[in-house]
Structure 1
Amino acid sequence: MTPTTSRRLRVALVEDQPLFRSMLERTLAELPDLELVAALGTVAEARAVLTPGVADVVVLDIDLPDGNGIALGVTLRRAQPDLGVLLLSAHDAMNLLLDLPRDVAHGWCYLSKNSGTSEKALVHAVRAAAAGETVLDPALLQRVSPRAGSAVSRLTHRQYEVLQLLAQGLSNSGIADRLEITEKSVQNHVYAVYATLGIDAEPARNPRVSAALRLLEETGPSL
């Protein structure tokens, strides 16, 4: 769901660690275009409070005292198909995104609590989730490399750089700025990535989401 100019983006937070939850509350509450509508600590509280239409995005800790944040996200998404989901975890559990049911796999983002994620990255991921996009943790992406024989391994060095930045949620103009190349060059690289990975550039599913998930699927820890 893309936020409109008529109202602020409504964000709900489900995090059981009081200190970390209060830090997230302060960060989100200070932004004029965001509205923190709930700050909860358990799956049970979330199911009771987060009925369809209460929030546009939910920020979920994966490990909650009475259940799993991913399962909670699936339940909430099926009740509200346009709900964005940002997962947070103290462990590197990014690969869990690959196990999401296909009917709810769009609009999920993942950040690690331990990777030095900035407030800017957090807010960017919240907004991306609301728009149905996928953002993966930048620091964790730097620790992986393509698996031998995979389609990702056939990308050129520049195409792989573009794919990694795309998976971090950067726009074509943002990628161009980061790599100091033209936006037209980025567009050409993006289409080359889609062609190599066999991704349709105009399907019902967002091709940038599909590309990010393929990167996740076809990479592993760097040696």
Structure 2
Amino acid sequence: MPRDTRLLYVEDDPVLRTMLLGVLTQTLGFEVVASVGTAEEALAVEGPLDVALLDWALGPDSLNGVELGHELREQHEHLGVVILSQHYAWDFHGSRGAVSMGWSYVEKRADLDYAYLAKVLKATATGLSVVEPSMQPDRAPAAVERLSQLSARQRQIMSIAATGVDANIIAERLDLRPVSVRKELSECYRILLPDAESGTDLRTAAVIAWLEGQRSHTLDSYGK
């Protein structure tokens, strides 16, 4: 029998925290390792964790949810991070230069669908990334359209590049020559970054564009 997903929940509003804690444990079946109100308490939590559900706004003198997510990732390398927020913050998420999967954003609203939240949490715990379309209305359609222009081979290469490995390792995994991988990567950059400015870190920017396109599909495919 599979074990419950181990979750850390951080919310500075005690009323909301108590309410959602009951939903997470009694209705959705998560193993809540800790439910705390501050970033300091969250960083002191020990033990194995699969995913963290973090409120974006944790007080004026505190780390925000994204900053806390980065700090928690330093302690728990493979931790999934779900930000519960009214703000879309992908650019800030990528500000440390480490583009990684397992980061998701859910819009914080009164009519939050708890079954949907559970699905996002479990998907993120496995390394997927989900962002609600309402939180990125102008970016996802273009990113998805550009992905459709990539060949099957280019999709394979980008999916491996998104894990942070270099062209030599990609070539080894796909049984290709490194020069062929570099050529395909250059074509991926051209397709995914048609308006790239001089000086842009093409590899990082292309991975971000790849992930933005992928996020529109990950949740629909999860669990099928």
- TM > 0.5 between the two? yes
Q: Is the 8 A contact 1:133 1:209 kept in 2?
A: no
**In structure 1, what is the equivalent of residue 37 of structure 2?**
41
Unpaired runs of 5+ residues, structure 2, are 164-206, 216-224
Distance of aligned partners of 1:146 and 1:79 in 2 relative to their CA distance in 1, 3 Å threshold: closer
* Pairs within 5 Å for 1:59-208: 59-65=53-59, 66-102=62-98, 105-114=100-109, 116-141=111-136, 143-144=137-138, 152=143, 155=146, 192=148, 194-195=150-151, 199=155, 200=157, 202-203=159-160, 205=162
- Is the partner of 2:12 in helix, strand or coil? coil
- Is the partner of 2:129 in helix, strand or coil? coil
Aligned pairs, number: 169
Distance of aligned partners of 1:193 and 1:213 in 2 relative to their CA distance in 1, 3 Å threshold: same
Greater Rg by CA: 2
Whole-angstrom CA distance in 1 between matches of 2:139 and 2:158: 24
- Offset at residue 46 of structure 1 (A): 0.7
Unpaired runs of 5+ residues, structure 1, are 156-162, 164-191, 217-223
Whole-angstrom CA distance in 2 between matches of 1:127 and 1:59: 11
Distance of aligned partners of 1:61 and 1:24 in 2 relative to their CA distance in 1, 3 Å threshold: same
Aligned residue type for 2:63: G
- Offset at residue 20 of structure 1 (A): 2.1
Q: Is the 8 A contact 2:102 2:126 kept in 1?
A: yes
Identify the structure with the greater helix proportion: 2
The TM-score normalised by the length of structure 2 is 0.62
Whole-angstrom CA distance in 1 between matches of 2:56 and 2:129: 17
Whole-angstrom CA distance in 2 between matches of 1:193 and 1:82: 31
Distance of aligned partners of 1:69 and 1:107 in 2 relative to their CA distance in 1, 3 Å threshold: same
Identify the structure with the greater strand proportion: 1
Whole-angstrom CA distance in 1 between matches of 2:63 and 2:76: 20
Whole-angstrom CA distance in 2 between matches of 1:86 and 1:33: 17
Whole-angstrom CA distance in 2 between matches of 1:30 and 1:102: 35
Distance of aligned partners of 1:83 and 1:193 in 2 relative to their CA distance in 1, 3 Å threshold: farther
Q: 2:51 aligns with which of 48, 54, 57?
A: 57
Q: 1:116-159 CA deviation, whole Å, 9 max, x = no partner?
A: 54112211110011001100023324x32569xx7x3854xxxx
Q: 1:143-176 CA deviation, whole Å, 9 max, x = no partner?
A: 32569xx7x3854xxxxxxx8xxxxxxxxxxxxx
- Is the partner of 2:135 in helix, strand or coil? helix
Q: Is the 8 A contact 2:28 2:115 kept in 1?
A: no
Identity of aligned residues (%): 29
Provide the alpha-carbon RMSD of the alignment.
Answer: 3.3
